[in-house]
Amino acid sequence: MRPKELCFLVAFHTTTEALALEEAARSADVPGRLIPIPTQITAGCGLAWRMPIGQKEKMKSLLTKCDLKYENIYELMI
């Protein structure tokens, strides 16, 4: 089993929102990937963007710049 690490998660209301963020993140070279929502949280579509905690400000900037919709932002040990 991999050791747990502190991660930055962006959860979404819809799958469309999740896929829009995935496309924007890839275009902007923001690291991360879509994952199923961890059991510690809930979200409408069941998907979250997981990325290293050190990239938090880059992601917040991308969300604002691209006017991307999301449900919530979390920092979790997963």
pTM of the model: 0.90
CB 73 within 8 A of CB 55: no
Locus of tokens 């604002």: 64
Domains in the chain, please, with CATH?
6-77 (3.30.70.120)
Residue-wise pLDDT tens digits, 1-49: 889 999 999 999 999 999 999 999 999 999 999 999 999 898 789 999 9
Q: First-to-last CA distance in the chain?
A: 11
pLDDT for the residue 75: 95
pLDDT for the residue 1: 80
Label residues 52-66 b or e (16+ Cβ within 10 Å = b): eeebeebbeebbeee
